[in-house]
Structure 1
């Protein structure tokens, strides 16, 4: 009997152990499922990380694309619709791109505007530096006295002005009050660099980067080639005389010809500027005699014969004039105004080559 009870107890014990073992397996199975779910979550996280990484990479690529063009320091921001730059007066200026109605208040600037793919509805009087396509557009008066009333009546989207003219600077408040956008530029100081800088601004406004990257880059390359061609030559001493029927002055290195002479490596013997931003100064014959230049360049303004008469009266009548090396060797050159008095713009390579042949004849006679 006792044996029967012991057997019953043993059976109950076996059944109990088996039951616990089964629960233990279910719990393990449950843990495995949870672990798999965790792995699934982790996999999702990994997928999300990969997506975030891809998005980040795309953003980086876009940023690299936007940063691929190296803009000059004076351009602060270039967006699809506007360009913001520091104008020559030191002020931040934002201009909306692709304006339809443009008025340009200086013809040498007008010429650069058209080189940049722009068009205008009005300009100032005159014929020099006026593109063929702009000859018959509206005339709004003289460069130093434009008609504000006429400009406002045209309701322009953009007015382009010269920061070097006080009459233009005085128009700023009027244009602001009438909600008319305007852009100040300067092409008078260090003219060649200013010319390139203004082209960069204008091609941004017109949306014609293609012009800057092809035609303008080619122009720059041609000028650089000419300058490089003479860089190892002995540098001549030069005086640049700016002559009219009324006076003769000397041009400084920041003037149109002075800038080109400097880029070609020659030495301008007149460098002092008593008046800030002036490109011409009064001079003494004694200074020229002291420095004894190798080359004398004359930039005529107005009638050439009247300029020559003024030169004779002011300089050549002095006996000491004939002692100058440049005079004795026949190195006095009257420069064509279309290249050296007015802005050459697209003809800059031609102007540089013309001047280089005078300053370094030995290079171009080879």
Structure 2
């Protein structure tokens, strides 16, 4: 029996999406997977939120054949050694770029025996993305971009360097300049002085948490004295990127994410 047909636990919603995309069935997961439509309401839930606080006892008692967790989540990494002692197989996924996605997706479709899905969502997206990158290379002027991940309070508003976030890697692939790579202090706090000095052409914001609250907070912040003088804000070049493509891993929508980013950068 292929592993796609046996009991599998996916410890966050992006992993549930990824496993389904590879032809697997999500039997055990977290509440957010159900909310986002990547698991049935009948799935066993081992976390009532996004998957950072897994109920280990409930997970082990469910006797999964395979557990898929995130290498970026400390609680998942700690869980791996415990599950190993319990004789439960676990895959820790490290996916910070499209190339990482290809590698992980190849592994998962090998497990499910669905090479057709790898061709469709792996190689198919690769071809589309290569065309988008080639098209972006044709633009002579490369924008300077401030890429920000934002919650609904100032302490949760921080710029991301290219090696800190997959969306920032997309920006690099498309030839734009990420000013957080030059102004590292912006990754700790969004300093108005540094933002003014950086002279960004565009500000790209990915909401986290409550999307509406995040957008409302940033809109209010950027309307304040001082912030209104930032060139990108003054020129109306602030863009809110959808969470489904740029906060959560896009999985089967990587090509769509690249296409949207190209439009934002070079419109």
* TM-score of the superposed pair, with normalisation by structure 2: 0.86
Q: Which residue of 1 aligns with 2:30?
A: 124
1:242·1:280 contact (CA, 8 Å) conserved in 2? no
1:301·1:307 contact (CA, 8 Å) conserved in 2? yes
CA displacement, residues 103-152 of structure 1 (integer Å, 9 cap, x when unaligned):
11121011111111111321112147845554431111241111111111
Secondary structure class of the residue paired with 2:181: coil
The equivalent position to 2:152 in structure 1, one of 236, 245, 257, is 245
Q: Distance in 2 between matches of 1:288 and 1:261?
A: 18
Counting matched residue pairs gives 261
Q: Give how far 1:294 is off.
A: 0.8
Q: Distance in 2 between matches of 1:251 and 1:128?
A: 29
1:108·1:130 contact (CA, 8 Å) conserved in 2? no
The equivalent position to 1:218 in structure 2, one of 113, 118, 124, is 124
Q: Give how far 1:310 is off.
A: 3.1
Q: 1:218 to 1:129 in 2, by over 3 A?
A: farther
Q: Distance in 2 between matches of 1:358 and 1:107?
A: 26
Q: Distance in 1 between matches of 2:255 and 2:115?
A: 21
Q: Which has the higher contact order (CA 8 A, sep 6+)?
A: 2
Q: Compare CA radii of gyration and give the structure with the larger one.
A: 1
CA displacement, residues 308-357 of structure 1 (integer Å, 9 cap, x when unaligned):
453356454233x3333322322111122222222222122222212211
Q: Which residue of 1 aligns with 2:255?
A: 349
The equivalent position to 2:206 in structure 1, one of 299, 302, 317, is 299
Structure 1 gap ranges (5+): 1-80, 82-95, 362-366
Q: 1:102 to 1:302 in 2, by over 3 A?
A: closer
The equivalent position to 2:190 in structure 1, one of 275, 283, 301, is 283
* TM-score of the superposed pair, with normalisation by structure 1: 0.65
Q: Which residue of 2 aligns with 1:267?
A: 177
Q: Distance in 1 between matches of 2:114 and 2:20?
A: 11
